Amino acid sequence: MTSDQILIFALLIITLCLFVWNRWRYDVVAVGALLAAGLTGLVPADDLFLGFGHPAVITVAAVLIISRGLLHAGVVDTLARLLTRVGDRPIAQIAALTVLVAVCSGFMNNVGALALLMPVAVIMSRRARISPGLLLMPLAFGSLLGGTMTMIGTPPNIIIASYRGRITGEPFGMFDFFPAGAGLTLAGVGFILLIGWRLTPRRNKTAAGGELFEVSDYLTEVLVTEDAKYAGKTLHELLSDLEGEADVAVTSRFRDGKRQITPSMYQVLKPGDILLISASQESLKALLDRSGLALAESEKAAETEDRENGADEESVSKKPSRKDLRLSEVIVTHESPLLGKSSRILEVRERHGLNILGVARRGHRLRQRIADIRFQVGDILLVQASEEDYAPALARLGCLPLAQRSLRLGAAKRLIPAVAIFGTALALTAVNLLPAATALVLAAFVMVLVGILSPAEACKSVDLPVLILLAAMIPVGRALETTGGAKLIAEQMAGHAAEAPLGVMIALLLLTTALLSNVVNNAAAAILAAPVAVDLAQAAGSNPDPFLMAVAVGASCAFLTPIGHQSNTLVMEPGGYRFGDYWRMGLPLTIVVTAAAVPLILWRFG
């Protein structure tokens, strides 16, 4: 190996380890890798930032804006309205949800399609009195499958289409992915409906009434008020009286600004004490009902409002009563400004009128005070707000309600233009009148121009970390090619499979890319695997198209872990899943998809 090859392999290994470690955001890691490639001379200084103007990056940004426009116009809401007619049979619900999210994901951002249908799935599970986990994993996997059907269904397809254009002079077209993508989607959805859904864990039981569904225990702060029943009594007395009704763990007590970890059970509770507790939603409700204690954040909000209003009789009468306040569970999405920050830093209550009363995170025991917790994708928040502030606050904070979500039908004056604009862009691309990037940017611009989206909403819909990841990793991936590193990997793979049929080599490349996409971002997996695919095709004396298509499919097959794709992460907490639950359905699904995709790829491109 040359010195440059040793450098690029070392850089990629370190980058992949940092992606898996997840200590820093993937866009930060990607920029670090790009700078390291520039400082070591692997990427020429003049080419270091060319990725930021790459057609793949522009296309992904345009697709994200168009997806938000379709959501705002009510396209998916209109389709989701039909789901209420499928009845309460689990297999019928799974079929309707999975097919719908797969179709939508073929023509819009798959995370956006999942995010809109996920609350619908939760409501359907409550009505049918089944675990949400029975519906949510099939929904997430359906969104990944559907994204393989068109060039704009998922970022890896856009990357591979653009890479093919650089190699051959002509990129993949909008529907070149459809024969393989539609076939493997049918096979994957069929497996989910016949076998896969039976492999999902069913730990949670949905209550028969109108309660919120079960999640892992909340970390919540409760306040000992002046008139609390247990003020002046010990913690032991409180928990003893609740035995059999509530399972509550007191992790800390705050008094006069000082924290005591695991307080003694025989210390007397005083008014003003704040207890940091871990409890399920049902246990929390029983604690508040029986003890007279109050949610600390809610009380703080009330006191703040009293001070702002002067606490006079007239202003208090104008305050929203408890009945006017809305209590709800919401999930933190991948585009939320809360990510990596705390409610104290963002002043959530002061700026947005939203009180965060509790936080639940699957697989992690939270110990900080609620105001100091730095939020992650998939966190479930117990929030409280007035009816007036509720919806605007959730929209600004990038959170989705997971109960009692009313579907809104888009007005015809927005629905029809949105579909027409998007359909025109697809047609212009399909008949090669305009390049995909140009047609899609034009569609996004027209959506803003006619008022389907405001400029601010369009900017907010762009997932900047994903774009930075793409822009930074494209030059790094090209360095793997220019140094001969990709050719070296391809020669090793071809050497081990020298006597193997072409289909076996394609299956091996597909599975290798799939494994990579389960531990790093799928776009990064596509960028790194694309040059290897081309060199492997040259080593085999074959057309590069089937190899590139195998990379596109493999990058979308992140079925084994919750970190492989944002769709998997979003359903983890509300579905009640653990890290090891995904492979139970994901491993056989990966095998089914591979078995379906390889012959279809060979038939279309071989």
Query: Whole-model pTM above 0.85?
Result: no
Mean pLDDT of all residues in 158-177: 92
The predicted pLDDT at position 307 comes to: 53
The predicted pLDDT at position 403 comes to: 56
Question: What is d(CA 148, CA 156) in angstroms, rounded to the nearest whole number?
Answer: 9
Question: Is 80 exceeded by the pLDDT of residue 119?
Answer: no
Question: Is 80 exceeded by the pLDDT of residue 285?
Answer: no
Asked whether 119 and 405 are in contact (CB, 8 A), the reply is: yes
Q: Do domains 218-315 and 320-401 have the same CATH topology?
A: yes
Q: Are strands 248-255 and 258-261 parallel, antiparallel or unpaired?
A: antiparallel
Mean pLDDT of all residues in 481-503: 83
CA-based torsion, 565, 567, 570, 572: positive or negative: negative
pLDDT single digits (tens) 4-62: 999 999 999 999 888 878 778 888 999 999 999 999 999 999 999 999 989 899 998 99
pLDDT single digits (tens) 130-145: 888 899 999 999 999 9
Strand ranges in 172-322 using DSSP code E only, listed in sequence order: 218-223, 248-255, 258-261, 274-279, 294-295
Q: What percent of the chain has pLDDT over 70?
A: 88
Q: What percent of the chain has pLDDT over 90?
A: 35
Average pLDDT for the chain: 83
Query: Per CATH, the architecture of 320-401 is what?
Result: 2-Layer Sandwich (3.30)
Q: What is the domain partition of the chain in residue ranges?
A: 3-203+421-605, 218-315, 320-401
Nearest CA-CA partner of 9 in 332, 404, 394, 485: 485
Mean pLDDT of all residues in 227-243: 83
Mean pLDDT of all residues in 508-514: 94
* The CATH classification of domain 218-315, taken from the options 3.90.700.10, 3.30.70.1450, 3.20.19.10, 3.30.465.10: 3.30.70.1450
CA distances to 214, 359, 585, 586 from 90, rounded to whole Å, are: 18, 29, 17, 20
Asked whether 140 and 571 are in contact (CB, 8 A), the reply is: yes
